[in-house]
Structures are given as structure tokens and as C-alpha cells.
């Protein structure tokens, strides 16, 4: 797979060199590969669904995203993982038009996103994390609103809204105001809003947070179907198991930089994705501490 993106130390091999002598228990942050000494970036890949080059974003003193290169092949189910505050949401916001990058290029299906955001947005469905919804609308109204805002035909919107409500197990609550929805239901209706125009590229930030296991399984099946039909789905998550089972590709981000990217099998290199993630990102303690937490009965 030539579109497979791996830009660490300018290597061409689609696997990662493990830090040879770093004991698993003591991965000093920064000892893992950093893309500092990368050869000059290749131009963005027009064949990719999403191709990012040299993306930077700084908020005051803090650099949230520090030069990210990433290629998301068409038809892939792409997992985007990283610790809290690693820059996942910032990166995805810049790829979807919610945040203007300080520098860098975002290309969606071969067209430069930031020079013509509207055509990029038309091809994308977005589930942003940590934003409100227009929650004084009912579930059905919110879906309709999302469809009509995109200029879709009323009948198509109505038909798809019904389908989506059924797929999200929300048919019974379609006339309930979103403000009265539970956290999981809110996530599901937001996902519906991202799907209603059948986008070629779907970007979901933490889509399964607070969603019950049954609905999550239904949604996973639906997304897998969607990918099989040729769409590209990008999912950010903290749940490594989920990404390992669900995704074809994965990128690991930490401190605003890509630590590893490629097919899930390449990145995990035989181990579990979770172990590989911890190894790449660092930060595990060899805890002796909190001795008082062991038994509460003899703590005095």
C-alpha cells in the first residue's frame, strides 16, 4: 500500500523501529521516535481521502499541534488515538474547518480544504467533541435542520432522518427535546447529524463516549458497512481495544506530533495496540505509591 503513511525519521519501511533498549517499564517521554529529523515533506497525496502536511497550531504559549503529516487512505477506517491533551481534537478541528491552522495544508479528496472550505465541508460529516447542540430542537428536528442546512431536499431529509433515528435506537425519542436527552443519546443524535448527507469522509471525535454497548455495537456495524461501501471514516478514541478491533488504520499522536501511523497491524507490530500505545506515548508509572490505598481497614 503506497498510501500508507509513515513519516518517522524519513523511513520508507512501513513499520516502526522499537526503542531497542527502553525497558517497557521506563519509557522516558521523548526517547521514542520523533519526526524531528524528517526529510522535507512530500506534497499532499491527492489520492488520499484526507492528506495533511505540516499542520501547526499554537494557542498563546502552548503548541497544540506541532507539524503533523498524515495520510488517510480512501476507504479506510482510521483510528486516531492519543493521550488527553495530545492535540487530537485540535487536529480534527483544523481538518474540518472549525479551526484555522497557523500553518500547513489539509487536502480532502484531492482539493485543498482551506482555499475552498465549502466544497470540503460538503464532502465531510463531522461529529465534533465538546460542543453543544441546538438542544431546544427535538431529535427529529435537529436531524432535519442538519440536512436542510446542507441544502438537501426535504423529502430525502425526512426519509434519511427516519432511517437514522432507527439506526441510532432513537425512534421513540424523536419528539423529545435534545436538551432532555441523556449523554449517550446526545452523542447518537449528533452522529446522525454528521451522517445525514452521506458524506464521503466522516470525522468523528470520540463517537462512542457514554453510548451504551448495544447502540455502540449497532453503530459500529453501520460504520463498518459504510466503509465497505467506499466511504472513509476517521474516529478518535481513547479505547484501544475498540480501535484495534474496528479500524484498519491507526495514527498515534502525542504532544502534537504523530508518533506512529499506518495499518493497525503495522503499528501494533505483533503486540496489542494498547501496549504499543503506552510504549510510544510514555507516562506509565511503576507505582509504589498510594500504599494507603491498598487496604482501608488497617490504614490507621
User: Which residues are near another protein by CB under 8 A?
Assistant: 96-100, 117-118, 120-122, 124, 126, 128, 130-138, 140-141, 144-146, 148-154, 157, 175-177, 179-180, 193-194
Beta bridge partners, 57, equal: 65
Minimum CB distance to another protein, residue 166 (Å): 17
Task: Select 164 or 193, whichever has its Cβ closest to another protein.
Answer: 193
Minimum CB distance to another protein, residue 99 (Å): 6
Task: Select 55 or 157, whichever has its Cβ closest to another protein.
Answer: 157
133-163 exposure pattern, b = at least 16 Cβ within 10 A, e = fewer: beeebbbbbbbbbbbeeeebeeeebeebbee
User: What backbone torsions phi and psi does residue 201 show, to the nearest 5 degrees?
Assistant: -125, 125
Task: Select 96 or 257, whichever has its Cβ closest to another protein.
Answer: 96
Minimum CB distance to another protein, residue 211 (Å): 18
Minimum CB distance to another protein, residue 235 (Å): 16
Task: Select 128 or 184, whichever has its Cβ closest to another protein.
Answer: 128
Computed over its alpha carbons, how large is the radius of gyration of the chain?
A: 20
User: Which residues lie closer than 8 Å to 77 by C-beta, 6 or more apart?
Assistant: 223, 224, 227, 232, 233, 235, 246, 247, 248, 249
Beta bridge partners, 70, equal: 52
- Please report, to the nearest 10 degrees, the dihedral formed by the alpha carbons of residues 155, 156, 162, 166 taken in order: 170
Task: Select 105 or 263, whichever has its Cβ closest to another protein.
Answer: 105
Minimum CB distance to another protein, residue 88 (Å): 16
Amino acid at each position: 500500500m503506497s498510501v500508507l503513511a509513515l513519516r518517522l525519521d524519513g523511513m520508507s519501511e512501513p513499520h516502526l523501529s522499537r526503542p531497542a533498549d527502553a525497558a517497557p517499564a521506563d519509557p522516558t517521554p521523548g526517547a521514542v521516535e520523533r519526526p524531528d529529523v524528517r526529510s522535507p515533506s512530500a506534497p499532499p497525496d491527492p489520492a488520499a481521502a484526507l492528506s495533511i502536511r505540516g499542520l501547526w497550531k499554537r494557542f498563546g504559549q502552548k503548541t497544540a499541534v506541532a507539524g503533523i503529516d498524515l495520510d488517510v487512505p480512501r476507504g479506510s477506517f482510521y483510528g486516531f488515538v492519543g493521550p488527553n491533551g495530545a492535540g487530537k481534537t485540535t487536529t480534527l478541528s483544523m481538518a474540518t474547518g472549525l479551526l484555522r491552522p497557523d500553518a500547513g495544508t489539509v487536502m480532502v479528496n484531492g482539493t485543498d480544504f482551506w482555499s475552498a472550505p465549502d466544497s470540503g465541508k460538503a464532502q465531510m460529516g463531522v461529529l465534533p467533541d465538546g460542543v453543544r447542540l441546538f438542544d431546544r430542537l427535538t431529535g427529529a428536528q435537529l436531524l432535519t435542520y442538519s440536512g436542510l442546512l446542507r441544502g438537501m431536499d426535504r423529502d430525502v431529509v425526512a426519509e434519511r432522518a427516519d432511517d437514522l433515528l432507527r439506526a441510532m435506537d432513537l425512534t421513540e425519542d424523536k419528539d423529545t427535546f435534545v436538551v432532555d436527552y441523556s449523554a449517550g443519546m446526545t452523542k447518537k443524535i449528533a452522529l446522525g447529524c454528521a451522517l445525514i448527507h452521506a458524506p464521503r469522509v466522516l470525522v468523528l471525535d470520540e463517537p462512542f463516549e457514554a453510548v451504551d454497548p448495544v447502540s455502540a455495537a449497532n453503530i459500529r456495524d453501520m460504520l463498518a458497512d459504510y466503509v465497505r461501501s467506499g466511504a472513509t471514516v476517521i474516529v478518535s478514541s481513547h479505547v484501544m481495544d475498540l480501535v484495534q478491533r474496528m479500524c484498519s488504520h491507526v495514527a498515534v499522536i502525542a504532544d502534537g506530533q504523530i508518533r506512529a501511523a499506518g495499518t493497525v497491524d503495522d503499528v501494533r507490530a505483533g503486540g496489542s495496540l494498547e501496549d504499543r500505545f503506552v510504549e510510544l506515548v510514555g507516562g506509565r508509572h511503576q507505582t509504589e505509591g498510594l500504599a494507603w490505598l491498598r487496604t482501608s481497614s488497617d490504614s490507621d
